[in-house]
Structure 1
Amino acid sequence: MLAEQFAQAGARVAFCARREEPLRALEAELRSRGAEAIAVVADVSRHGDCGRLVDAAAERWGRIDVLVNNAGISGAQKPIRDLGMDEFDEAMRTNLYSAYSCIHFASKHMIEQKSGAIVNISSGIGKMPVALRTAYGVSKMALVGLTRVVALELGPHKVRCNTVSPGWIEGERGAEVVANMAKARNIPPERAREILVSGPLKEAVTGQDICDTVLFLCSDRGRHITGQDINVNSGSIMF
């Protein structure tokens, strides 16, 4: 959805996924609308694949203006005593190391340009931890820390870095979160959804809400915003 929204706003977009078929379908759809788009088959939990993605965009267009790190998995929901190191590591590689790797490669271009905007997609759990979600929570907390370090380091080069922390988002991944929570806590799915939509607005966040916030942060309208963690959660977390 982010790639579509950026393309609709007039941006040239490069994006990736592990599965080639849906990736090529989105690339074809965007190009049919007149957008300049590059699809790269890549697994961002692998450092080298992140480099290939950044190189593909830089070689085609000569610069990297925006980087959005949106990869993420929910990870296993289980007590720490039962959480395997392989499960913990998978969440860290996908949710944290992928962002570091993409920033590592893209920042070189942004420093040279003396401009750029980076947005990392985190989660409310990055601020308010939840029992049984150790791997996910730790990876998202660390992602917020990475954002702030990058903002400090790259700020003198006029490169901004922010985090967007969504609440529970309706959709395929949101349904997976509900199902996993219901199973882990032995509660009905309806109760799990009530817990997730706990803000005073009593509304679930949509993908469009996140896209709108990311687009704002990457635009000139957000030119003085850096090092921030922006909540988009209907008020469920207010710090």
Structure 2
Amino acid sequence: MSGLVTPHRFDGKVVAVTGAAQGIGLTVATRLAAEGASLILIDRAEIVHEVAKGLRENGTDAHSITADLEQFADAEAAIDEARQQHGRLDVLINNVGGTIWAKPYEHYTAEQIQAEVQRSLFPTLWTCRAVLPHLIAQQSGTIVNVSSVATRGVNRVPYAASKGGVNALTASLALEAAQYGIRVVATAPGGTEAPARRVPRGPGAETDQEKAWYQQIVDQTVDSSLLKRYGTLDEQAAAIVFLASDEATYITGTVLPVAGGDLG
């Protein structure tokens, strides 16, 4: 990774990262490893086991779990297994989600709307619910949710609504959890440059019309950014890891936009 690293910042910390097999989640996991964390990597893609193996070969304590976090039973089982690895869990980073289709709202089917919400809201709802009793019992812990500035964006209304739900969850759960010494925070990434996904989120743009709709997303994202560019994976990971760290112990209930000046 090319981002700045703070050595030993997570020494002695047990951190679970969902959606850790690729993209932002993989970059977050790699940075946490460099900063001393013991990692639990959760993803429904089998390649998460390759990621954990690579980190272990470099000296990191890393355990991998495959789970479909769109289902509460899987989320609960994954969190239980994660906690059993070290007897506790200090940080949960909820990174699962992402636009499946890109098109004006009137072109979505009911099934597609439900699938978008199931992908980008429910995994965070489920894992927060699953981890909360453990953190309450510990009287400590941090949850970092990965939202999006696309709550104000074109051609992905169901995704925007889902991430608006993540923002509301973050604010409301922080109010409830503070009495137990638990922080709940979020970042809201903007457009982010990333390698092609090894496991795609959806069918991708195929027709000329679908490609034009997707290009509208790109154009609006860049135009909304004061810096007029996409961010990098390292820029996204830096904010997530900071909020997860003890450097952010007086921050809770807030969503930090990481989008070059676009506030969403």
| TM-score over 0.5 for the pair | yes
Within-5 A mapping of 1:74-113: 74-113=99-138
Aligned counterpart, 2:237: 211
Counterpart pick for 1:222 among 228, 244, 248: 248
Aligned counterpart, 1:3: 29
Counterpart pick for 1:67 among 73, 92, 101: 92
For the residue of structure 1 that corresponds to 2:154, the secondary structure is coil
Per the normalisation by structure 1, the TM-score is 0.89
Q: Which amino acid aligns with 2:228?
A: K
Q: Which amino acid aligns with 2:246?
A: D
Does residue 46 (structure 1) correspond to residue 71 (structure 2)? The answer is yes
CA RMSD of aligned residues (A): 2.5
Does residue 171 (structure 1) correspond to residue 194 (structure 2)? The answer is yes
Alpha-carbon distance in structure 1 between the residues aligned to 2:243 and 2:163 = 19
Alpha-carbon distance in structure 2 between the residues aligned to 1:188 and 1:124 = 16
Moved more, 77-86 or 36-45: 77-86
- Structure 1: 5+ residue stretches without partners: none
Alpha-carbon distance in structure 2 between the residues aligned to 1:93 and 1:158 = 30
Per the normalisation by structure 2, the TM-score is 0.81
Aligned counterpart, 1:27: 52
For the residue of structure 2 that corresponds to 1:197, the secondary structure is helix
Alpha-carbon distance in structure 2 between the residues aligned to 1:188 and 1:147 = 29
Aligned counterpart, 2:169: 146
Does residue 236 (structure 1) correspond to residue 247 (structure 2)? The answer is no
The alpha carbon displacement at 1:133 in A equals 1.1
Relative distance call for 1:173 and 1:161 in structure 2 (3 A) is farther
- Contact kept in structure 1, 2:100 and 2:201, CA below 8 Å: no
Does residue 117 (structure 1) correspond to residue 142 (structure 2)? The answer is yes
* Structure with the larger helix share: 1
- Contact kept in structure 2, 1:197 and 1:236, CA below 8 Å: no
Residue by residue, what CA displacement relative to the aligned partner does 1:73-103 show, whole Å, maximum 9, x if unpaired?
A: 2022233333122211111112111101111
Residue by residue, what CA displacement relative to the aligned partner does 1:28-59 show, whole Å, maximum 9, x if unpaired?
A: 10101111111111111111111121111211
Moved more, 88-97 or 156-165: 88-97
The alpha carbon displacement at 1:188 in A equals 9.2
- Contact kept in structure 1, 2:33 and 2:55, CA below 8 Å: yes
The alpha carbon displacement at 1:11 in A equals 0.8
The alpha carbon displacement at 1:192 in A equals 5.7
* Number of positions where the alignment pairs a residue of Structure 1 with one of Structure 2: 233
Alpha-carbon distance in structure 1 between the residues aligned to 2:41 and 2:158 = 26
